[in-house]
Structures are given as C-alpha cells and as structure tokens.
Amino acid sequence: MNHYETIFIVDPDTPGTDQDTIFEKVKTMIDRDGKLLMFDDWGNRRLAYEIKKKKQGRYVRLDYCGNGTLVDELERTFRLDFRILKFMTILIARDVDPEALMPVAEEAPAEPAADQIASKEDAPESEETPDEAVLSETPEPETDTEE
C-alpha cells in the first residue's frame, strides 16, 4: 500500500448535515479499499483567492494508505460533487505498512509502566521548590516614589 495525503475544500454554504454526509462517504470509501490514518477537519478558513465566487471554505485533510485506484475513485467523487471547491492529493511514500503509520496517541499505553514512575525518594533534594527558584531569579519591580 502507498501512503497518501489529500486536502479538500468544501463549500462553506453547504448545510452541516450535507457536510457530514460528504465526510462519511469519503471515510467509507477509504475504509473499503484502504486504511484511514487521520481525518483532520481544519474548519472554515479564508481562501487565498476566490473559488467559484467563495471567499471561505471548510478545509479537511485526509491521511491514508491505499492504492492508485482508491485515489482515482476519491478524486472522481470530488470532481462530480459540486460542493467540493478544490482538492489535492500527494503521494508521501510507496509500499508502506499502515500499522506502522498509526498515530502514536492510539498506541500509547493508558498508564506509564511501573519502572517509568519516579518516586519522591529517588528525586534529588533541592533547597528551593521550583516556584521559589523562579521567584528568586526575577528582579523586584522598581517603584517610583515622588515626595
């Protein structure tokens, strides 16, 4: 499988339910023929130039693994949908393992391992607490006294 990134812009005047329908359709297309790694909705943003007389658009970034036919099918869907203002797909890497590309947040354990937890006894002792150390380094504000 190849690793791709697609960014597309949805017309901001499209109702929220229609936008959700577009997003679900794209997600199911990718899940059917590939693996969706990240669906990143950037929200409404100002466009650099007008597209179809629109000054804003809803940006969405897809990070996924699949093959060339999946990309062709996605882009064909974007071309046929009048609510999609622009789209762009780039090939990031060829012949990758989708499991190795999964976001780190999903793979991280919920609690740290016992050997990673430092006890208070192991911590070096300091005369000052961190807050006191910061306070002692900051200069006192000068006050102007007029008599």
What is the residue extent of each domain of the chain? Answer: 2-100
pTM > 0.75: no
Give the model's confidence band at 100: pLDDT under 50 very low, under 70 low, under 90 confident, else very high.
confident
Tokens 């693996």, residue located: 35
- 134 band by pLDDT with thresholds 50, 70 and 90: very low
What's the CATH superfamily of 2-100? Ribosomal protein S6/Translation elongation factor EF1B (3.30.70.60)
Residues 60-80: tens digit of each pLDDT:
999 999 998 999 999 999 999
Residue 33 near residue 70, CB atoms below 8 Å: yes
Instruction: Return the SS3 of 74.
Output: helix
Q: What is the mean pLDDT of residues 80-88?
A: 96
Distance between first and last Cα of the chain: 80
Indicate the helix (H) or strand (E) that contains 51: strand 35-51
Question: Alpha helix locations (H) across 56-147?
Answer: 68-80, 104-107, 130-137
Q: How sure is the predictor about 18, in pLDDT bands with cuts at 50, 70 and 90?
A: very high
115-127 pLDDT, tens digit per residue, is 444 544 554 555 5
